[in-house]
Structure 1
Amino acid sequence: MKVLKFVVTSMVIGLAGAETIRGSTAEFERMLQEDSSAQCSSNPVCLAMGVEGACCPTADGVFLDCCNRSCSAHSACNTLADNCCPTNDNVELDCCDHQEKLEEFRSYRNNAARACSAHTSCRQLAGDCCPTVDNVYLDCCGN
């Protein structure tokens, strides 16, 4: 299955560790389950292909090419006709709500990376460790 070209594929690379990625992804997956437009079943092409779960975006922040591209599927684009997200020329218009969802993903990812529970050596601590609320990285954070 192809991925839309506008997606930044390095989005989850460079975090403190794989545990952080898994933690933030799990939290984002819960949010996606509550967002019916993110579900494959809400996108006719994804549904017809038999893809299940979150597609628009996936838990990794990727929008599959089966996602609804029509302008009418995106509230800020609904006065336009044809495809907007992306257009037939593969251009992502500013009115597409994909950017909002990607920002939500980044926010979840960044918040999860700060949590002590996301780092093996910090798990016995509560709150944020990497960095703390005072922007200090504790020794248990690792690299």
Structure 2
Amino acid sequence: MPGFELMNAHDFKINTVPGTTPGTLAAIAAGITNVEPSPNEELSQDKYLDGDGYGETDVIGAQIVLAFTGHRKYGDVAQDFIFSKMLELGASRRTNFEWTEPGGGKFAGPCTIANISGPSGAAGAKGEISFEIHFNGKPTYTPPVVTP
């Protein structure tokens, strides 16, 4: 489709050996049916006497969060790593993450795996899962290389 990028052209990778550089990156793709990025913005909304009762907004904080949903695929390196963290707390949920856009732009940085849920669902259905990747701090963004 000219002008529209398909979500399956995005590349999501998680470091399955935390604390190592560059680490061992595994694709988050198998069994994943949906991803919802969110800036999780914190807003300051204020009304001033000179605004005639109308307010103004400033974005004063943010955290990039990606919410993934899909089906549990046992034996998939990324999913097995993520679900191995379900009962863990604190630093053991931290690693690194990369998100490469279809055009080549890349977000990368430290992250926390949060809200791991599933598998669940009906007896005759695939196990439904969900989890979130929360970038810790502002990720590094590398713009795509433009070729003339």
TM range (shorter): under 0.3
After TM superposition, the score normalised by the length of structure 1 is 0.24
Structure number having the greater helix percentage: 1
